[in-house]
A and B are shown apart, each in its own frame.
Chain A
């Protein structure tokens, strides 16, 4: 944990000096922001809009972030919570970017967002064919038939791959979260 924090701190400092390094912060945090946002909006389009907004704001105000022990993710979560609140209220007024030592409580549901973010990242570790099936099925929302066509496999084979992929994910996810229910 300590070294992770130290790594993150270095990363943030690097990105503050050279915004080109922001990509690394983005890579490290994309899934959690998306997972947090997506469970609070109606659809994919909105999830993408809000996620984009969060990172654009974070980049624009990165210089204001000061390392005070609270993880960078907490700051992103708060930007996200504000962006969502703005949407809901359709507030015309731009919210302030929270300062890192803002005493406002952290938004709810972070644990869940972290859990799902881990799952999203696990997808990338699947063997290629299983990975393709999961991506086509869940993020492209294609039918088994369409996937079979796209991959040149039978529908039965695709269903098998889907089954195996979910089994792999279940095992790895449970392993990572210390055997939490799935």
Chain B
């Protein structure tokens, strides 16, 4: 058994301390009176109560260094929450501001939490043809363009428009960033609401500019004149003019009295004689109306995750218990929520496999908010980090599939500076992706990917996805489903690597063998068996300095679990996940990879008979390993998604090296140009390049 590292030992001891705390907290309904609780909670004069030995449990003696740090950990276990601290401060300041003109606390950066011109929540639209969309929004809704950042290869990386008091962000579609337009998703789980002076006029204007009117303007029983439309890019809008201020009782009465009386839906050509104000109280001019699978749960989640407040008198539940309509406020922004229903063509994100509208949320402390949202059940899509455009932000997915960009502005960046940084950022990205010795032919182009990505196709995609999530802590970064074959395509991150999983009833199954570095081989091995995998080899220390184990999952994939016995779990320069081939002839395989893809041979180990027991090659810096077929390790029809700069040239070279064409180079609707070949050993290669500015 390798000795656990000091940091590992410390963490195990801290875990023991936390679970001890939890047990005591669960037991104690009285103030700490038992000797144990006293010891634990501390009596004055001792360091946070428990001595190291109490929390250490059964793990035996710890090195002094760890023991000392454990004591610090114990003293820290009561560390106050920052958001409590700031919340209480704000509360106290609110009290004092009644008698003084004290200003609310500025954010840590000294900048206001919500930058000028924005609301707390800003809709972010993904559009195929963002430039044309901006023109459309100008004509249809009187929007003004505030800024745009163009990509070097064309297309809009980020733009902002203003409609009355509301900012809207938009960009072209970037499938590789999970930014998909309504056209690609087949619709949208978000309807944009827009309050205007005259719903009739704006609907007419929009229709003239090319929108499809789904429902013409009419007086609604909820005190608004409104209609709805789908814009030429597939985004849905409801256009309303607020006519009457209703009381909570009136709203409920009108909702529960069933379909409104005929007089309530009179076809008026003008808004009522005395418009109260065109915007509903509590709302901004433009915002989002989200559809979720369960409205009541969603409201609860948004409260816990984002500190939303609900306007409970606007909660309308239909007889089946479904939330027909709910309203929450996040910061200064109103959000409407409905549960999905075919009656109104309202579908939640999972129906489309995503959403083309994200919610951009400006907050005071993005790290604290993200932690709070994750605790409430949000998933991390992109971790919080400093961005070149002056925000510190990350992306979360809520349990209902909606995407939230949570952000704090940490620096005000002028438009000129922004442009300079954007260019620097993009060229840096490009440089980082240019490997030193790529042989010129090939380059990985997609952010977060290397040149080589295993593409596993199986019938039971969800099952496999759950397996990699549970065993390897994989996170899903992209999903599109409901394609032509009713299947799905998922991309997931394992450590510092990506894998793609395709599934559907009609897919050709292409299981893979993959070498995966994990933190804890034994734990991953046990988990894999629990998840239905069969053992191919129990955890063992190998003389080449790794602890390893092998399993075969329920879909037939082979997973070679490993971690280095000394040094970091993932050896320097390697990735978390490496495809492992079992060709009949290793030599031929290596030759093919060299000729077709410009591979470099890094290492080759042969046994006495000359058989290649292990070899490693790199393509554009990304590693593929192999060991010739033997015993249970027979050739597999593994597929690799290979990013290159020149699809057509690489395709030709692959054919010349002996591959068979399955699909000549083709522009795909999902934004890649790719070709599909099979190598002489039976592996499938998707040779691909993301299309630049694949918009109009």
Chain A positions near chain B (C-beta within 8 angstroms): 18-20, 22-23, 26-27, 30-31, 34-35, 38-44, 47-48, 51-52, 55-56, 59, 88, 108-109, 111-112, 115-116, 119-120, 123, 132, 134-142, 144-146, 148-156, 159-160, 162-163, 166-167, 169-170, 173, 181-182
Within the assembled complex, what's the spacing in Å between the Cα atoms of A88 and B80? 22
Are B72 and A166 in contact, with the CB atoms below 8 A?
A: yes
Candidates A40, A42, A109, A140; contact of B25 at CB < 8 Å: A42
Within the assembled complex, what's the spacing in Å between the Cα atoms of A27 and B85? 9
B102 at the binding interface (Cβ < 8 Å): yes
Count of chain A to chain B residue pairs whose CB atoms are closer than 8 Å in the complex: 187
Are A154 and B374 in contact, with the CB atoms below 8 A?
A: no
Output the nearest chain B residue to A58 by Cβ-Cβ distance: B92
B551 at the binding interface (Cβ < 8 Å): no
> Given A159-B11, A167-B69, do A142 and B374 touch, yes or no (CB 8 Å)?
yes
Are B91 and A142 in contact, with the CB atoms below 8 A?
A: no
Residues in chain A near residue B76, CB distance under 8 A: 119-120, 123, 134, 138, 166, 169
> Given A18-B100, A39-B42, A166-B10, do A139 and B79 touch, yes or no (CB 8 Å)?
yes
Are B78 and A35 in contact, with the CB atoms below 8 A?
A: yes
Candidates B11, B81, B496, B568; contact of A162 at CB < 8 Å: B11
Candidates B14, B48, B79, B374; contact of A123 at CB < 8 Å: B79
* Interface size range on B against A: 35 or more
Residues in chain B near residue A154, CB distance under 8 A: 495-496, 519, 569-570
Are B473 and A182 in contact, with the CB atoms below 8 A?
A: no
Candidates B43, B78, B370, B569; contact of A116 at CB < 8 Å: B78
Q: Looking at chain A's contact residues, is the secondary structure mostly helix, strand, loop, or mixed? A: helix
Residues in chain B near residue A173, CB distance under 8 A: 72
Are A116 and B48 in contact, with the CB atoms below 8 A?
A: yes
A-facing mask of B351-393, CB < 8 A → 1, else 0? 0000000000000000110111011000010111100000000
Residues in chain A near residue B47, CB distance under 8 A: 112, 115, 181-182
> Given A112-B45, A150-B374, A173-B72, do A59 and B95 touch, yes or no (CB 8 Å)?
yes
Nearest chain B CB to A43 CB, angstrom units: 6
Nearest chain B CB to A76 CB, angstrom units: 13
Residues in chain B near residue A138, CB distance under 8 A: 73, 76-77, 79
Residues in chain A near residue B382, CB distance under 8 A: 152
Chain B positions near chain A (C-beta within 8 angstroms): 5-8, 10-11, 14, 18, 25, 28, 31-32, 41-49, 68-69, 71-73, 75-82, 84-85, 88-89, 91-93, 95-97, 99-102, 105, 367-368, 370-372, 374-375, 380, 382-385, 473, 475, 495-496, 519, 568-570
Nearest chain A CB to B493 CB, angstrom units: 9
Residues in chain A near residue B89, CB distance under 8 A: 23, 26-27, 30
Nearest chain A CB to B421 CB, angstrom units: 20
Nearest chain A CB to B497 CB, angstrom units: 11
Residues in chain A near residue B100, CB distance under 8 A: 18-20
Residues in chain A near residue B46, CB distance under 8 A: 112
Within the assembled complex, what's the spacing in Å between the Cα atoms of A134 and B48? 17
15 A-B pairs besides A119-B75, A181-B47 with CB distance below 8 A are A30-B88, A41-B31, A48-B80, A52-B88, A111-B45, A112-B46, A136-B371, A139-B79, A150-B380, A150-B383, A152-B385, A159-B11, A163-B10, A182-B47, A182-B72
Are A51 and B44 in contact, with the CB atoms below 8 A?
A: no
Are A59 and B6 in contact, with the CB atoms below 8 A?
A: no
Candidates B44, B72, B385, B473; contact of A170 at CB < 8 Å: B72
Are B568 and A152 in contact, with the CB atoms below 8 A?
A: no
Are B91 and A22 in contact, with the CB atoms below 8 A?
A: no
Candidates A88, A132, A148, A182; contact of B68 at CB < 8 Å: A182
Residues in chain A near residue B11, CB distance under 8 A: 144, 159, 162-163
Within the assembled complex, what's the spacing in Å between the Cα atoms of A150 and B373? 10
Within the assembled complex, what's the spacing in Å between the Cα atoms of A69 and B519? 57
Nearest chain A CB to B101 CB, angstrom units: 7
Nearest chain B CB to A175 CB, angstrom units: 13
